Structure 1
């Protein structure tokens, strides 16, 4: 019997999981970052390295996705991953509080905590997206992606607002209490979100040993090593190409994060408060850009589901916005910077929702029972891009400042380079679409043996 698709209420319930995930992550990567640097006077490289650890651990997303493929149900991985995440979030706050009295032990515990955070985000997030993709009707996927991501950003906003109020006046004990409260709330949202969404009959029971087929007869099976499963997915041109696209586009997406505020302060003379408001303006634009995709899809039904066009357009529009930022660096204070940053947010939001929608549409294409590995591969590419994007952006800025006498020209070159990355990503979006088109014309791609794939993958 065909599994029923999710209603809008069911999609919103799954979005609660993303809200809880975002709440824990923003507290550990933003609030604890500030406490370490300001209240505890620790070097800024410490929270930077801890956040990098959380990204590095997500390279194992394909393996966790493979584990959920083997079990045929995603709910245990979502709940288990969230349990690991909230444990890591609570330990991270304990470690931060401990740094004030025993820095060495506090840092050691923080390393363990951020490893748990990375593992929890990877395990829960990968299976959540697979479940959402498999249980959402094709015509609703872009809107579902928008809704879920808006709920995650809502988790960011609500958590930082409430936690900011509860943390004053600051004390290490208060930090641990606030973090524990957020962890409990995130776990409760997860249980509410997944309760009854995935039917029990989704469990696939292996055949008894008595019903084994003859040894010479080979039957496709979900069982097998992770390496075999990964190589099967890597042999699929659309999956492999989409992973490269995700990496390049997310690299362009994240590379400006750490240099936008210094740019506004150094070139336009913005105060710290003004640059913070500028970031808020960009996030507001991102929310609007995310909402535009399903709204335009509702107004113009022919555009609904055409995620390749939306992805291509979002990449090119983001490139134009970054070129405008490069022009702003050259022209200086007379340029309408706020409007440009808002435009960058809108274009980035449209691109992000289209890319996520494409990810959900492609996850079930190709070899069967590998959805978790595919989503894990793309999630790992995204995490790797985010992990190095900020570093490369700041490194490029420092190198440009060193080689060039003008800070304005340095920023202009960096923003223009990021625009070039988005143009490359747009070309790759067409590349992915062509691979999908060939697969649709010629049928499902064959599942090749792992030893054949190893020598023939492009």
Structure 2
């Protein structure tokens, strides 16, 4: 029995979940990071390590995806994950405020908070994408993923813009109030988004397709890992997302240290970046509608997005050297634009590949790629902040330090562009094996 397909309205409703998820995450990774480094004078490696902890928990995404494959309903995973995420976001703000008076206790609470954030993002995000992958028609998957991701970016933009306004003049209590409001709003959006989205008939249809209990997670994971494109795509996701995320935790401190932006100003700068990302994401399907021959060429879009992101990062490296006279907002918008084009192309490829290979393994594949993304984001954020601390120690110039790090990240995007070509190249031995299998089939016929 086939599962009923989700309507376009249902896809938009699910996008509300991603909007709420993005709202909480952007506040914890951008604003709290800036407050720790600039207002509290903590080393940049501290927020980098906290975000790395949250991404380290993404290692459990394949197992959560496997559970979603075996289970009959995904709504409890989504709502439960968002509740954990919302609690973690509020605790992270409390911990940051506590650091101003009791640094060690504040840091300890922050570790626990970011563990909750990681678990919430992994559980809710993986189950949401599995639901989309299994309930969307094949010709809707890429578009559905784009809609959901655009709504997440919209959550970034609205949150950073509103929070940037509400946080000035800055105070720890104001930070806690803003964070609590964002967490409450995210829960409301999630409940509205998933309310009766599966329905009783759908749950019954899922229950009839549950894999046998003997389908152990390890066997399912190894089956997916043995698929050449799934494995190579996971490696590509790791490399490209490493490049994508390395600037994430240093951009706001960079604007504060080199350009003298206030906390509200740097938060608003993040909204400029996310606005660019939204435009970049929307541009890909729009150009595809105007030039239909380019619509399905996700590999070309991915390569172009990676190379143009490298150029934008080189422009940021120049901005660090030139200083306040450089058009920083325009450069950050360009970085968001190029990142958005890359991201929507990678998401389109992900949704197209998720149903390939063995049956009832969509959750494991999505979990594998989500884990690769999570590791890359965690390592990228940590390495970015570590690189800044090391560069500032060695070079004794904040401007030159940021310039060197941004230029290094541009080089990593060039490597990611090469990886996008490599994903679709099968090993010569595998091609020979495939030819041998074809010949054997012909001979047997």
Tell me, yes or no, whether TM beats 0.5: yes
Question: 1:50 offset after TM fit, Å?
Answer: 2.6
CA contact (8 A) 2:354 2:362 kept: yes
User: Which residue does 2:119 correspond to in 1?
Assistant: 119
The C-alpha deviation readout for 1:242-266, integer Å capped at 9, x for no partner, is 1110111111112233445666678
* 1:144 matched to 2:135: no
Alpha-carbon distance in 2 for matches of 1:140, 1:93: 38
Alpha-carbon distance in 2 for matches of 1:112, 1:332: 38
User: Which residue does 1:241 correspond to in 2?
Assistant: 232
Q: Secondary structure at the match of 1:434?
A: coil
After superposition, residues 294-333 of structure 1 pair within 5 angstroms as 294-326=285-317
Question: 1:336 offset after TM fit, Å?
Answer: 6.2
The C-alpha deviation readout for 1:179-202, integer Å capped at 9, x for no partner, is 444333222211221223232233
Alpha-carbon distance in 2 for matches of 1:102, 1:275: 26
Alpha-carbon distance in 1 for matches of 2:178, 2:36: 16
CA contact (8 A) 1:142 1:305 kept: no
CA contact (8 A) 2:36 2:47 kept: yes
User: Which residue does 1:456 correspond to in 2?
Assistant: none
Q: What RMSD over aligned residues (CA atoms) do the two structures have, in Å?
A: 3.8
Question: 1:351 offset after TM fit, Å?
Answer: 0.1
Question: 1:77 offset after TM fit, Å?
Answer: 1.5
Q: Secondary structure at the match of 1:27?
A: helix
CA contact (8 A) 2:29 2:249 kept: no
Question: 1:8 offset after TM fit, Å?
Answer: 2.2
CA contact (8 A) 2:12 2:147 kept: yes
* 1:386 matched to 2:377: yes
Distance 1:392 1:37, change over 3 A: closer
After superposition, residues 19-418 of structure 1 pair within 5 angstroms as 19-33=19-33, 45-96=45-96, 104-163=104-163, 178-198=178-198, 199-205=202-208, 221=212, 223-260=214-251, 270-272=259-261, 279-326=270-317, 339-397=330-388, 399=390, 413-418=404-409
Which sits farther off after the overlay, 167-176 or 179-188? 167-176
Q: Secondary structure at the match of 2:125?
A: helix
Distance 1:223 1:34, change over 3 A: same
CA contact (8 A) 1:126 1:376 kept: yes
Which sits farther off after the overlay, 330-339 or 90-99? 330-339
Distance 1:42 1:19, change over 3 A: same
CA contact (8 A) 1:252 1:419 kept: yes
Distance 1:224 1:162, change over 3 A: same
CA contact (8 A) 1:322 1:344 kept: yes
The C-alpha deviation readout for 1:329-386, integer Å capped at 9, x for no partner, is 6788887665544332211110011111211211111122121121111111111111
User: Which residue does 2:441 correspond to in 1?
Assistant: none
Distance 1:113 1:204, change over 3 A: same
Alpha-carbon distance in 1 for matches of 2:109, 2:294: 50
User: Which residue does 2:8 correspond to in 1?
Assistant: 8
Question: 1:312 offset after TM fit, Å?
Answer: 2.0
Question: 1:419 offset after TM fit, Å?
Answer: 2.7
The C-alpha deviation readout for 1:264-308, integer Å capped at 9, x for no partner, is 678xx6332576665544333222111101111222223223322
Aligned residue pairs, count: 429
CA contact (8 A) 2:89 2:113 kept: yes
Alpha-carbon distance in 1 for matches of 2:331, 2:170: 37
CA contact (8 A) 1:138 1:305 kept: no
Distance 1:202 1:277, change over 3 A: same
CA contact (8 A) 2:157 2:271 kept: no
Question: 1:204 offset after TM fit, Å?
Answer: 2.3
Which sits farther off after the overlay, 23-32 or 78-87? 23-32
Question: 1:409 offset after TM fit, Å?
Answer: 6.7
Q: Secondary structure at the match of 1:308?
A: helix
Distance 1:106 1:400, change over 3 A: closer
Alpha-carbon distance in 2 for matches of 1:34, 1:143: 34
Distance 1:400 1:67, change over 3 A: same
Alpha-carbon distance in 2 for matches of 1:256, 1:427: 20
CA contact (8 A) 1:133 1:361 kept: no
CA contact (8 A) 1:139 1:305 kept: no
